[in-house]
Amino acid sequence: MIKNIEKQKLIINYEDIKIALPKEIREKIDNNWSEFVKQNPNLWNGDVTRVSCYTESNDEINILCQKTDYAHYLYEERKGLPLEFACVNISAGCLLETIDGHYVIGELDEKMSYPHMLQISGGNVDKKDMENGIVDIMKTISREVMEEINIDLNNPSQISNLLLKYIYNSEKGEQPKVQIFAKARLNMTAEEMKEHYNNYFEYLIKNNLELEFGRIHLVDKRKAIERLEKMDNPKRDYLIPLIKTDLLSK
């Protein structure tokens, strides 16, 4: 479910310790990884940040993270594990709204793992977002938004009213995850944002740089749910609940 966290302090700690998994589960993960590597030799089993403990009160949300590996994440995604051993992914993003009331929704490029998936700009927590065991989640959000759509969340000429606003905990039957969202207003109209992204898209293509979004959609917030529900694209689990919550938020 999505909830507003404006009145709560968010504390995210990271322990640079790889989680211990039972031998039989580790063997299943490693065997599964070997099969995936046979199918795609380009896969790399790097570090992944995983939520190991989540607690909250009326005033605070405390999240403790440890590291695991991509093989664990991939096994969880494709086959699933008991919750105590699951790779509970943590990620963050920013819901952007133009000055004329349009949400910025990205559509993943066809070369991505989930082609044409609809989502907001964001991504996984990285070690560069950490210092002295503390995760600065706004660094994650700012980095992802800059990389994906070339918007500087720290630039007041581009952005106003930036707030860390929502959190999403996966529901029963979904892949376990914790997702944190900021909300910001762009100092651009929908047409200006469209032109801005098209220019950035051409720059990425011209310089052979990584392209995450094949396109963006500027969705009128007054008709956002209706339009998104009519689109055939796959959608992140959080997307429609996040939009519904934001539309109800003051």
How does DSSP assign 116-159, residue by residue?
Answer: T-EE-EEEE--GGGEETTEE-HHHHHHHHHHHHH---TT-TTTE
Looking at the chain, list the stretches that DSSP marks H as alpha helix, in order from N- to C-terminal side.
23-39, 70-78, 137-149, 190-206, 224-230, 239-248
Q: Residue 240 has what pLDDT?
A: 95
Q: Residue 43 has what pLDDT?
A: 80
Q: What is the mean pLDDT of the chain?
A: 94
Give me the CATH number covering residue 60. 3.90.79.10
Per-residue pLDDT of 98-114, as tens digits, reads 999 999 999 999 888 78
Q: Which residues pair with 152 in a beta bridge?
A: none
Q: Which domain holds residue 121?
A: 2-248
Per-residue pLDDT of 10-32, as tens digits, reads 999 999 999 999 999 999 999 99
What pTM does this model have? 0.90
Amino acid at 215: R
Contact in structure between 135 and 14 (CB atoms under 8 Å): yes
The rounded distance, in Å, linking the Cα atoms of 241 and 164 is 17
Contact in structure between 167 and 183 (CB atoms under 8 Å): no
The rounded distance, in Å, linking the Cα atoms of 70 and 72 is 5
Q: Residue 53: is it exposed, middle or buried by C-beta count within 10 angstroms (0-12/13-18/19+)? A: exposed
Q: Which residues pair with 134 in a beta bridge?
A: 13, 131
Q: Which whole number is the average pLDDT over 213-236? A: 97
Count of domains for the chain: 1
The rounded distance, in Å, linking the Cα atoms of 237 and 246 is 15
The rounded distance, in Å, linking the Cα atoms of 199 and 91 is 27
